[in-house]
């Protein structure tokens, strides 16, 4: 049986250096708020005149913070395309691997959904630029949050059934600049 390609949703945000980490964290929390199928304690966070959902989970908050900081470092680094970065959030389903032999991994993780967050960094030079950039940040954050809500309300058929009693039935990962990984990484070799 051929594996179907998981849906990929692309979000674009615009940020200045002072707010980029907070904006990325807000978007990640919004995605996880709608795709984290464990029992959660919901929170809200205010950013740029918007109130966005968040999850009160220490491990998830730590991962989001680490990946947001890594993205900011990558955007600011000289070898990265100046002022741009990307994060991928991937959700997986654990499936029994069909093999003839009983050795090796019995389960495999199959991606069922992927979110790509494209971040563009702006560095305002004048007070007028600061105002324009702030307005653009607010608009891009608002647009991204609405897009997430529209997608999660519309696209539900691809979500696999919950077949485990684990705290989190669907493993996930957050990858910084996934396109810059080597071919081995994409194929799962390394």
The first and second tokens of residue 99, run together, are 């093999």
Task: Give percent of the chain with pLDDT exceeding 70.
Answer: 82
What is the arithmetic mean of pLDDT over 84-94? 91
Domain ranges of the chain: 8-176
Tell me the CATH architecture of domain 8-176. Answer: 2-Layer Sandwich (3.30)
Nearest to 32 by CA among 49, 46, 14, 53: 53
pLDDT given at position 102: 53
Model-level pTM? 0.84
Tell me the C-alpha distance between 190 and 186, whole Å: 9
Tokens of residue 185, six digits: 């990484």
Contacts of residue 107, Cβ cutoff 8 Å, sequence gap at least 6: 94, 95, 96, 97
**pLDDT digit string (tens) for 112-155?**
899 999 999 988 899 999 999 999 999 999 999 999 999 999 98
């Amino acid at each position: 049986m051929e594996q179907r390609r998981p849906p990929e949703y692309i979000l674009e945000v615009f940020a200045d250096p002072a707010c980029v980490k907070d904006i990325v964290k807000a978007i990640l929390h919004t995605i996880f708020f709608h795709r984290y199928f464990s029992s959660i304690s919901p929170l809200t966070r205010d950013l740029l005149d918007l109130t966005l959902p968040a999850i009160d989970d220490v491990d998830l908050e730590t991962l989001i913070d680490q990946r947001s900081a890594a993205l900011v470092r990558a955007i600011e680094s000289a070898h990265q395309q100046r002022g741009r970065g990307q994060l991928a959030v991937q959700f997986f389903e654990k499936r029994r691997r069909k093999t003839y032999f009983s050795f090796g991994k019995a389960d495999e993780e199959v991606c069922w959904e992927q979110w790509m967050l494209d971040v563009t960094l702006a560095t305002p030079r004048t007070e007028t630029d600061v105002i324009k950039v702030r307005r653009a940040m607010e608009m891009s954050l608002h647009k991204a949050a609405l897009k997430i809500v529209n997608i999660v309300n519309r696209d539900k058929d691809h979500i696999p059934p919950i077949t485990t009693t684990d705290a989190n039935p669907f493993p996930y990962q957050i990858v910084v600049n996934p396109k810059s990984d080597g071919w081995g990484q994409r194929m799962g070799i390394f």
